[in-house]
Structure 1
Amino acid sequence: MNDIPQHDDLPLPDYDHLPVGVLGSKITGLDSPGLQRLLDYERAHGNRLPVVQVLENRMEALRQGAGPSGAVPSASPEVSGTSAGSAVSPETSGPPVNPPSQGTPFNPSQPR
């Protein structure tokens, strides 16, 4: 096994925070040495079976002739930390909600 890479040496930014479901699409731009660094790092740190399987499957695809496709993303929108808020507008919002006839939490009904 190679020297264990440190987090700052990894070819993917925020690798530790990537959901397993998007990892497969994020590693398609990596070559064999970059993918091997991720695999070595994962085995030494988290050793999560689903992650190791995704990395090993991609490594096998590279061995069988697949090539890196596209560029490795420099930033990950899944973990960017910025939230744009809701895209709801008056045209796409639901109908107005009427309070119940017995009152609202801020205006409880009066006894009869």
Structure 2
Amino acid sequence: MTSDSALPLPDYDELPIAKLQHQIRALSADDIETLIEHEQQHGNRTPVLELLRTRRQQLAEGAEPSGGDQWDGTGKPADTPHGSPVSRDSAAGPGAPLRHGVAGQTADRDRP
């Protein structure tokens, strides 16, 4: 049984499949095998197992692990300061709904 700390990807169980797809490109065949065993014992998610087995096959056929660090986080939102990054300059203006889809028939449209 593989502990979470022994897995080649931090927070593996929380990674969305789209992130996992990119991050496994840097892993060796042994690391992929470790993830397959962990997945079979824990989540046993078919799409994830297919992804990992496909990558294992690619490595067996001569593909090389990609260089560099594929890790850019788990995809979870980072801690951010309170408040919105949206400014009043970029926000949409106020507007009344159109009456029957014709702008000229709605009195005071887009006027405060």
Compute the TM-score of the two structures, normalised by the length of structure 2: 0.72
Q: In the alignment, which residue of structure 2 is the partner of 1:106? A: none
Identity %: 35
Q: In the alignment, which residue of structure 1 is the partner of 2:42? A: 45
Question: How far is 1:91 from its partner?
Answer: 2.9
What per-residue deviation string (whole Å, max 9, x for no partner) do you get for residues 6-59 of structure 1? Answer: 111001011010011221101110001111111110011110000000100111
What per-residue deviation string (whole Å, max 9, x for no partner) do you get for residues 40-99 of structure 1? Answer: 10011110000000100111110111111033445514036524665422332111357x
The CA distance in 1 between the partners of 2:28 and 2:95, in whole Å, is 54
Q: In the alignment, which residue of structure 2 is the partner of 1:91? A: 89
Q: How many residues align?
A: 95
Q: In the alignment, which residue of structure 2 is the partner of 1:13? A: 10
The CA distance in 2 between the partners of 1:65 and 1:15, in whole Å, is 25
Q: Report 1 or 2 for greater relative contact order, CA contacts < 8 Å, sequence distance ≥ 6.
A: 1
Runs of 4+ in structure 1 over 3 Å off: 71-75, 83-87
* Structure 1 range deviating more: 45-54 or 71-80: 71-80
The CA distance in 2 between the partners of 1:7 and 1:63, in whole Å, is 26
- Consecutive unaligned residues of structure 1, counting only runs of 5 or more, are 99-112
The CA distance in 2 between the partners of 1:70 and 1:76, in whole Å, is 17
Q: In the alignment, which residue of structure 2 is the partner of 1:31? A: 28
The CA distance in 2 between the partners of 1:72 and 1:37, in whole Å, is 19
Compute the TM-score of the two structures, normalised by the length of structure 1: 0.72
Equivalent of 1:65, from 58, 62, 65? 62
The CA distance in 1 between the partners of 2:86 and 2:67, in whole Å, is 33
